[in-house]
Amino acid sequence: MESKIRVGLLGGNAEYGWGGRAHVPAIRALPEYELVAVGTSRASTAAKAANDFEIPFGYSDHHGLINNPEVDVISVSVKAPLHYEMTMAAIESGKPVFTEWPLGATTEQANEMYVFARKKGVPNVVGLQARVSPGILHLKDLVENDYIGTPLTCSMTLFLTSRERDSINSWEGDRKQGGNVLTIHTGHSLDALQFCLGDLVELSGRVTTQVTRWQISDTQQELTVDAPDTILLAGTLKNGCAVSAHIASTPGPAPGWRMQVYGSKGSLLAVSPQMLQYGEITLYGARQEVTGDSYRYQGTGSFNEISIPDNYRFVPVTVPKGPPFNIAQLYRRLSNHILFGKPLEPDFGHALKQHRLLDSISLAAQTGRTVKL
């Protein structure tokens, strides 16, 4: 490649945040990209990030980064309430844009971003990276290749240990800001489930705030919060499969993510000790074999680990495991679109669909009724 795709990252603080933790190492591990600019909220942190990352440009004004002619692609990895303003400015520039999930703080914002990106013809991708995890890709293929037969029922859980809250991330306690267990963790989890098994057609749900006060670690103040921390869902997929999901942030130790799918010919189990969008996923399977007019499980009847083939990895082995890996998988999809015209997803249209799904869960919780999708 004669020249690299030059990336400007909004939210590239060198000391904390998802941008520095996931996007920077992902970009740097891919040979077709070059990180050339970062943006943070203050001039001092922007200068420090540019120095630490050894890149030429650091900005405290997102317009400066976006309009820099030496930046080809804009990545937006800031807190959710800032996504709209920065993404709309990036779209206006005509440059390809990668915006983290959730796309907007509200569904209305997500819709505006989607419509504007289509109008401008700007390539776009949203950070729903669980669907490019090798484990999720293999799980989807196993289902489609009849490993379990007809999917009958699925149970998914995600239990997270509540992390320490300081002043920097206390905004997450305000539901209106758009970054909480419903929007972030439930959004990622249900996207992976539907990617593997098909779309929900109806659901009922409960959305609650079980812990209503947070202690802010750096000030020792207590903060009253209304952001949801517990989501319960029961639903039906288009193929008739019954689904249950329980996603919660817990005060104590938590086991991570788990999804079990039972079908007419066998079962699949996927687990991760962390959130599925960046934790390594391990797969297990148990298949039935016909004996006369009945079925029995092969082997001992227990789940056996299923190896994940290397062809589900799009990126070099030098890409770090953990948060950078699936982000790098998405960046590789973006570069394949820019350089070779290959299809690009998940895009803003897909993100809008996910926002509307979460709205339906909230509606079901508020009304106590089953919502048709």
pLDDT at 162: 78
pLDDT > 80? residue 227: yes
pLDDT at 252: 79
Superfamily of segment(s) 5-130+317-345: NAD(P)-binding Rossmann-like Domain (3.40.50.720)
The CATH 3.40.50.720 domain(s) of the chain lie at 5-130+317-345
- Kindly write down the DSSP assignment for every residue of 287-307, as one continuous string: EEEEETTEEEESTTSS-EEE-
The CATH 3.30.360.10 domain(s) of the chain lie at 134-312+356-367
At 298, the pLDDT band (50, 70, 90 cuts) reads low
For residue 73, the Cα-to-chain-centroid distance in whole angstroms is 20
Mean pLDDT of 211-225: 90
Mean pLDDT of 335-343: 97
Question: Beta strands 73-76 and 5-10: pairing type?
Answer: parallel
Verdict on whether the full-model pTM lies above 0.85: yes
pLDDT at 164: 73
R_g over Cα of the chain: 21
What average pLDDT is seen over the chain? 94
Please tell me the chain's helix, strand, coil percentages from 3-state DSSP, rounded to the nearest 5: 35, 30, 35
* b/e code 254-293 from CB counts within 10 Å (16+ = b): bebbbbbbbbeebbbbbbbebbbbbbbbebebbbbeeeee
Mean pLDDT of 134-157: 97
Nearest-angstrom CA–CA distance, 80 and 75: 13
Token code pair at residue 232: 């319960």
At 290, the pLDDT band (50, 70, 90 cuts) reads low
Mean pLDDT of 39-68: 97
pLDDT at 299: 47
pLDDT > 70? residue 292: no
More confident residue, 107 or 299: 107
Superfamily of segment(s) 134-312+356-367: Dihydrodipicolinate Reductase; domain 2 (3.30.360.10)
Nearest-angstrom CA–CA distance, 122 and 143: 34
pLDDT > 80? residue 296: no
Q: pLDDT digit string (tens) for 154-165?
A: 999 999 887 678
pLDDT > 90? residue 366: yes
Angle between helices 348-367 and 107-120 (to 10 degrees): 160
Q: By the 8 A CB rule, do 137 and 187 touch?
A: no
